[in-house]
Amino acid sequence: MEAGMKQAEIARVLGIHKSYVSNLIRDITGRTMSVTRMSPHQVEEALNMYDNGYSMREIWTDLNVTEYDVKQLLRGKTRSHHESNHLRAVRLSQPITESQIQCLLGTLLGDGSIVQNQNRGYRLNVKHGIAQLEYVKHKANVLGVEHRVHTYKPNLRSFSKNGSCGFTYQNAGGMKYIESFVIRGGKKTVNEEWLERLSMEGIAYWFMDDGCSSWVGKSVSVQFSTLGFPEDATELLRLKLDKLGFKTSKYQDRRATHKNQYFLSMSRYHTKDFLGAISAYVLPIECMRYKIKL
């Protein structure tokens, strides 16, 4: 037998069926014999394109190979229509900027929720009271989805008795990147990698969502509501603020409806520096200025 012969050629020379040749090769080498006429580089490129959502037609057209070769190479590989669409959307999505990353990471510590789509990707849902419409529009503008902002009529059965507003963000590539930081075990989980990626810009969004400052005598107090987080997540958030130089303590909220719910309170010796550090992100948004007491 000559090197490089195909299974059909071997079977013809030996006078046996090619399926027997395939089984014999599998028994001897532990793998099937390649039937594609593509070069190693083309094989690698085709597999990479498939993993990035390219269709078979796009692969054989771009690589200038035959339909048969591509189908033989990818034989046995399957994925759902939803998954193909998601991979394609990730590939074609606009690059995400640093300000968008911080907006997303900070919002997800606050009032934003991350929801899984049918195609296994994720989207961000943002909703606020109607009084914060300017803030919602600001976030949407940063994320490039101004056209997705909607207002909703008052609902006496929810917090939005005066109406609410919000938007959905689902840049597939951007959310895939954010997912790598915030999703653990299939759900949103505060973790060290997430907080390591968070800058003061992201913390400013968290503060505007769940933080407040107030006068206590002649000094200012800064607090973050963390009722929705378990104790270990609250502790990680406290350590993040400490690491940035803003000494913060964790307290159990006695007014909470459930046990083991906490809030963070910053040392009054550090509040002025903290508010100064985030003011560049907060003060341009008129409806959020009340949160800065300087």
Q: Give the per-residue pLDDT at 156.
A: 66
CB 89 within 8 A of CB 174: no
The last residue of one of the domains, among 152, 172, 198, is: 198
Residue 78 has a pLDDT of 76
Instruction: Assess whether 204 and 285 both reside in one domain.
Output: yes
Structural domain tally of the chain?
3
Last residue of a domain, one of 198, 222, 240: 198
Q: How many residues does the chain have?
A: 294
Give the model's pLDDT for residue 135.
Answer: 98
Residue 199, CB-side half-sphere exposure with 13 Å CA sphere: 8
What is the residue range of 142's domain? 94-198
Kindly state whether residues 124 and 156 are assigned to the same domain. Answer: yes
38 found inside a domain: no
- 62 occurs within a structural domain: no
Encode 257-274: b = buried (16+ Cβ within 10 Å), e = exposed. Answer: eeeebbbbbbeeebbeeb
Q: Specify whether 237 is located in the same domain as 141.
A: no
- In this structure, the answer to whether residues 258 and 167 fall within a common structural domain is no
Q: Are 240 and 291 found together in one domain? A: yes
**Is there a domain that residue 174 lies in?**
yes
State how far the Cα of 87 lies from the Cα of 93, in Å rounded to an integer.
10
Same domain, 113 and 208: no
Clarify whether residues 191 and 212 are in a common domain: no
The angle subtended at Cα 133 by Cα 130 and Cα 136, nearest 5°, is 125
78 occurs within a structural domain: no
User: Is position 89 within any domain?
Assistant: no
Alpha carbon 119 to its chain centroid, in Å, reads 14
Pairing of strands 219-226, 262-266: antiparallel
Q: Are residues 172 and 212 in the same domain?
A: no
The full DSSP string for 163-228 is: -EEEEEE--HHHHHHHHHHHEETTEE---HHHHHH--HHHHHHHHHHHEEEEEETTEEEEEEEETT
Q: What is the CA radius of gyration of the chain?
A: 28
**Residue 228 resides in a domain:** yes
> Which of 174, 198, 222 corresponds to the end of one domain?
198
Tell me if 41 is assigned to some domain.
no
For residues 228 and 181, membership in a common domain is answered with no
Residue 45 lies in a domain: no
Residues 158, 238 within the same domain = no
CATH number of the structural domain spanning residue 184: 3.10.28.10
pLDDT at position 32, please? 46
The whole-number pLDDT of residue 36 equals 56
Handedness of CA 227, 231, 233, 238 (dihedral sign): positive
Q: Which residues pair with 265 in a beta bridge?
A: 223, 249
Closest CA to 124 of 135, 111, 133: 111
What six digits make up the tokens of 128? 């606020």
The answer to whether 7 and 31 have CB atoms below 8 angstroms apart is no
Q: Are residues 231 and 284 located together in one domain of the fold?
A: yes
In tens digits, the chain (294 residues) has pLDDT values of 555 677 777 777 777 776 666 666 666 655 444 455 788 898 899 888 888 888 888 888 999 988 888 888 888 787 777 777 777 777 777 889 999 999 999 999 999 999 998 767 899 999 999 999 999 999 999 999 999 999 998 876 665 678 999 999 999 889 999 999 999 999 999 999 999 999 999 999 999 999 999 988 888 999 999 999 999 999 999 999 999 999 999 998 877 666 778 999 999 999 999 999 999 999 999 999 999 987
Residues 176 and 124 in one domain: yes
